Chain A
Amino acid sequence: MWNYAVWKKTWGDQRVLVLSFAALWSVFPWIYIWLSAQIPMPAFHDVLLRAIPEDWQKLSGVPFSEVATHAGRVALAFVDPVVVLAATVWGITRGSDAVSGQIEKGTMEMLLAQPVSRRAVFMTQAFATVIGAALLSAVLLISVCTAVSYGPWAGKVEPLRFIPAALNVFGLMVCMSGITACISAADSYRWRTIGILCGFYVFSILTKLVGRMSGTFSWLSYVSVLNAYEPQRLVSGSPEAWQTLLLYDGVLIGVGICGFIAGTLIFSRRDLPAPL
Chain B
Amino acid sequence: MLVTTNALTKRYGSSMALEACSLHVSQGEIFGLLGHNGAGKTTLLRLLLGYITPSSGMACVDGINCATQSLAVRSRTAYLPGEARLFRRMKGHAVLDFFSGLRKECCRLRAKQIADRLELDCNRQVARMSTGMRQKLALAIVLSTDAPLVILDEPTANLDPTARSEVLKMVMESRALGRTVIFSSHVLSEVESTCDRVVILRSGNVVHEQSIESMKRSHLITARLTGSMGKVPPHLEKSVSICSANAVDDTSRVTIESSGSLKEMLGWLAELPLEEIHIEPVGLSSVYDQYT
Residues on A facing B (Cβ under 8 Å): 3-6, 8-9, 105-107, 109-110, 112-117, 271-272, 274-275
CB-CB under 8 A from A6, the residues of chain B are 102
Residue of B nearest to A16 (CB): B89
Query: In the assembled complex, which residues on chain A have CB atoms less than 8 Å from the CB atom of B138?
Result: 110
B46: chain A residues within 8 A (beta carbon): 272, 274
| Complex alpha-carbon distance, A116 and B85, angstroms | 17
Q: Are A110's CB and B141's CB within 8 A?
A: yes
Give A189 Cβ to nearest chain B Cβ, in Å.
15
Chain A hits for B53, CB < 8 A: 271
**B124: interface (CB < 8 Å):** no
B interface residues (Cβ-Cβ under 8 A, vs A): 42, 46, 49, 51-53, 71, 74-75, 77-88, 97-99, 101-103, 138, 141
CA A110 to CA B88, docked complex, whole Å: 13
Cα–Cα, bound, A272→B47 (Å): 10
Known: A5-B99, A107-B86, A115-B71; 13 extra A-B contacts, CB below 8 A, are: A5-B98, A106-B85, A109-B51, A109-B84, A110-B85, A110-B138, A112-B49, A112-B51, A113-B49, A113-B77, A113-B78, A114-B103, A272-B52
Nearest opposing residue in chain B for A117, CB measure = B71
Instruction: Establish whether residues A109 and B102, one from each chain, have CB atoms under 8 Å apart when the complex forms.
Output: no
A73–B66 Cα distance when bound, in Å, is: 60
Inter-chain contact count A-B, CB under 8 Å?
68
Which residues of chain A are near B79, meaning CB under 8 Å? 113
A107 engages B85 (CB within 8 Å): yes
Q: In the complex, what's the smallest C-beta–C-beta distance from B82 to chain A, in angstroms?
A: 8
Query: What are 17 sample pairs from A and B whose C-beta atoms fall under 8 A apart?
Result: A5-B101, A8-B101, A106-B85, A107-B86, A109-B51, A110-B84, A110-B85, A110-B141, A112-B49, A113-B49, A114-B103, A115-B102, A116-B71, A116-B102, A271-B52, A274-B42, A274-B83
Top 3 A-B residue pairs of the complex, sorted by shortest distance between their CB atoms:
A106-B85, A5-B101, A115-B75
Residue in B52, B75, B77, B81 whose beta carbon sits within 8 Å of that of A110 in the complex: B81
Within 8 Å by CB of A5, from B51, B83, B102, lies B102
